[in-house]
Every structure is written in C-alpha cells, then in structure tokens.
Amino acid sequence: MRTSLIAGAAAGTLLAAGFAAPALAVEDGMAELSVLHGIPDMTVDVYVDGANTIDDFAPGDLAGPLDLAPGTYSVALTASDAADDSDPALGPIDITVEEGMSYTAVAHLDADGMPTANLFTNDISETAAGEGRLTVRHVAAAPAVDIWADGSVLFENLANPNETMGDVPAGTYEAAVSLTGETDPVLGPTDVDIADGVNTIVYAWGSAEDGNLDLAVQTVDVHSASPTAVEAGQYGFADEGSSPLPAVAAVLALLGLAGLGVRYARR
C-alpha cells in the first residue's frame, strides 16, 4: 500500500501513532485516487462504475491509492450488505481525474452534521530541498478552528470543508489548535514531525456534538528537489434515496506549521 492513513486522536485526545510510508509518485499516464471514510457509525461498500471496489469500508479507513486511467468515474456508497449499488446511501457522484494528479475523495459530515463528499487534489508539486508540506483538512461536523505555531496563530478560522497548507523545513514543530478566536487549545500543544519531500495531510472528521471527533493522517510523496490548495470541490449529496516507519508523536492535532519562512496557501 503506497498511501497510508492513521486514525489518531478521538474527541480531542492526542495519541501516539505509527507513521507509515508515503505514496510513491503517480504512475506515468495514470491518476491516483484514495478514498477516506469520515462518516461515523456507518460501514459501507464503495462501488466504482457499478463494481464493488472497496468492501466493508469502516469509518476512519483510507483505501488506495487506486491507479486509474484519466477520465470520469461514478462512485457510490452503499450499505455493507447491499447486493449492488441500486440503493446508495451516498451518491452516485461523477469524479473526474486527470493524468499525473493525486486525489483523495472524502465521505464525511458537513458543518451541520449531514453526509456529504468532497474531492481534494493532493498537492504533489515540488518542495525545496530539505522541506516538507503540511496540509490540514477540516471535514468534521465541528466549529471553525485556528492553527497555532510556537504560541502564535498561523492560520485563522479553518472551517468545514476547507483546507490550509504550507511548506516548512523538515523537522519537528510545536503546534496547537483552538476554536476560532479563543486562546485555550483544544488539541496540543504537541511536537509534530514534518518529513522531507512528503505532503503530510491531516483530517479532522466526525461530530463534535456526538463526541466522536477523530483525526486521520495520509502521507503522499511530492516532487522534491532534495538530493537523497486546493479548495475542496463540494458535491453535497446528503442521503439521496507497507512498511511502517518508526512511531512518531501522534500526528496530531490538526497540526500545524511553524518556523521561519513558512510558505502557505489558504483555501
């Protein structure tokens, strides 16, 4: 498996988690698509063009990447015991992928707690030598948050279903998360490792009201100069009809970017 995800911290609790190897470069002539299940309490099957492609897909799981020829695909989520995709729980939705691109489709709750979906484009553009990229995606039924680094707000008012990202020198950073406009952290502060030539993508998913907020992490290789944002396209269809590396301090917390020379894009 070339893309990895870690379901890390539930209800704002930081946990230690393993950090798995990132995705390899996109295969020539192909696109790659990963799928994240971020809807609590619903195990599903994922159908692509009418075929059961991912069976018994549980909340917090990440599948893929699937190597796909460029084109448009119909994706639907059904109950895990469904015989076919004729009565989907979510979808169907047409997803268009382009050659050489990396995507993650996320089934999740919108800010009001209704099932929806977004297709994110994973930024695999080149990073400078010695730098990594951090992407934070808010896909939870929860209020907007501020991202802190070294005691100062770095990103403000990140709301569902948006993302924020930045490139930083590879290393360890102290990060925390608070509700927008507040100073007391709801997550962190914690040390966060950013790897050279890797896009570390952190997702907040679940529901604050139901007390099942969780975090998940996906890692994807970027085109790096090392020697060794994409706004979510929201479809909003609500209920119609591998080798692990050494463990690192948990990924988490919607974590942040820190340090001098941070280059970021707010989506």
For residue 252, give both structure tokens: 């988490």
User: How many domains does one find in the chain?
Assistant: 1
Residue with tokens 């990073």: 127
Predicted local distance difference test score (pLDDT) of residue 161 = 96
What does residue 88 show for φ and ψ, rounded to 5 degrees?
A: -70, 150
Distance, in Å, from the CA atom of 255 to the CA atom of 175, rounded to the nearest integer, reads 6
Pairing verdict, β 131-141 and 163-169: antiparallel
- Estimate to the nearest angstrom the gap between the alpha carbon of 124 and the chain centroid: 14
pLDDT (tens digit, 0 to 9) for every residue of the chain, 267 residues total? 233 333 333 222 222 222 334 545 677 899 999 999 999 999 999 999 999 999 999 999 999 888 999 999 999 999 999 999 999 999 999 999 999 999 999 999 999 999 999 999 999 999 999 999 989 899 999 899 887 877 878 788 999 999 999 898 898 778 777 789 989 877 667 777 789 999 988 888 899 889 887 878 899 999 766 444 333 444 433 333 332 222 222 333 333 333 323 333 444
Predicted local distance difference test score (pLDDT) of residue 204 = 83
The reported pTM is 0.75
Predicted local distance difference test score (pLDDT) of residue 187 = 67
Predicted local distance difference test score (pLDDT) of residue 225 = 64
Domain ranges, residue 166: 4-266
Predicted local distance difference test score (pLDDT) of residue 224 = 60
DSSP state of 81: T
For residue 244, give both structure tokens: 């692990």
Distance, in Å, from the CA atom of 158 to the CA atom of 195, rounded to the nearest integer, reads 23
